[in-house]
């Protein structure tokens, strides 16, 4: 019992130390990500599913951002670089054509994530890869190369879906049918405000 208590206290101290070190390292920085933000009619439909997940399972994390497809996942950056990033995104977007995106039914990443499935068309796959490579090659922005393949999706519930509730929630969505199309007209930069994600700049395709 004494050993178990000691181990728990040590683990808590180590966790606290890591949290303090993280906060010191990221002091003065903001968190950002880049996405294709869904149009209002799709956002409103996805919002209804997010609210259902909140009511049934107390899931709130997905409610902190508009419905979207992540292109560049969240990263920390000094706010002084924000204008340079906006310029880079505008420059990149100006050379891209608009294209259609298709949403179809639902899928999941076990054991915590449920989402609207996105058909991964080649234009979407190319956009994500080329945008990421473009920003990396700039050398100014603190991005890390992703070590897993791009899997486009529109999140309904994520990290705060309890593992014990996953199967029950998924049983509800796997029986539902949903299909929608929308025209991707640009990319959006979002910034975390310590509570939610704000869309701060939209860069239009040609």
**Helix or strand (DSSP H, E) at 76:** strand 68-77
Q: State residue 3's pLDDT score.
A: 53
- Write down all domains in the chain, each with its CATH number in brackets: 29-204 (3.90.1140.10)
Q: State residue 20's pLDDT score.
A: 45
Q: Report mean pLDDT in 10-residue bins for the chain, 206 residues.
A: 52 47 65 98 98 98 98 96 98 96 97 96 96 94 86 97 96 97 98 97 97
CB-neighbour burial class of residue 95 (10 A; exposed 0-12, middle 13-18, buried 19+): exposed
State yes or no: cis peptide before 91, omega within 30 of 0. no
Q: State residue 14's pLDDT score.
A: 52
Q: State residue 25's pLDDT score.
A: 47
CB-neighbour burial class of residue 200 (10 A; exposed 0-12, middle 13-18, buried 19+): middle
Cα-based distances in Å from 87 to 23, 46, 204: 28, 30, 12
21 phi and psi angles, rounded to 5 deg:
-60, -40
Q: What DSSP string runs through 94-122? A: TTPPPEEEEEEEEEEETTTEEEEEE---H
CA dihedral in degrees (92, 141, 199, 63; nearest 10)?
120
């Amino acid at each position: 019992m004494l050993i178990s208590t000691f181990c728990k206290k040590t683990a808590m101290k180590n966790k606290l130390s890591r949290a303090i070190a993280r906060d010191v390292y990221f002091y003065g920085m903001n968190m950002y990500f880049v996405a294709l933000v869904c149009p209002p009619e799709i956002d409103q439909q996805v919002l209804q599913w997010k609210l259902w997940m909140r009511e049934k399972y107390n899931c709130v994390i997905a409610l902190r951002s508009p419905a979207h497809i992540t292109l560049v996942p969240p990263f920390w950056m000094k706010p002084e670089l924000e204008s340079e990033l906006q310029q880079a995104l505008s420059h990149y977007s100006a050379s891209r054509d608009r294209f259609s995106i298709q949403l179809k039914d639902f899928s999941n990443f076990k054991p915590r994530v449920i989402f609207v499935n996105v058909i991964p068309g080649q234009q979407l796959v190319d956009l994500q890869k080329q945008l990421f490579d473009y920003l990396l090659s700039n050398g100014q922005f603190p991005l890390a190369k992703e070590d897993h393949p791009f899997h486009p999706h529109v999140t309904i519930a994520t990290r705060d879906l309890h593992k014990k509730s996953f199967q029950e929630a998924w049983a509800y969505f796997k029986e539902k049918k949903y299909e929608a199309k929308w025209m991707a007209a640009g990319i959006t930069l979002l910034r975390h405000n310590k509570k939610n994600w704000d869309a701060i700049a939209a860069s239009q395709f040609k």
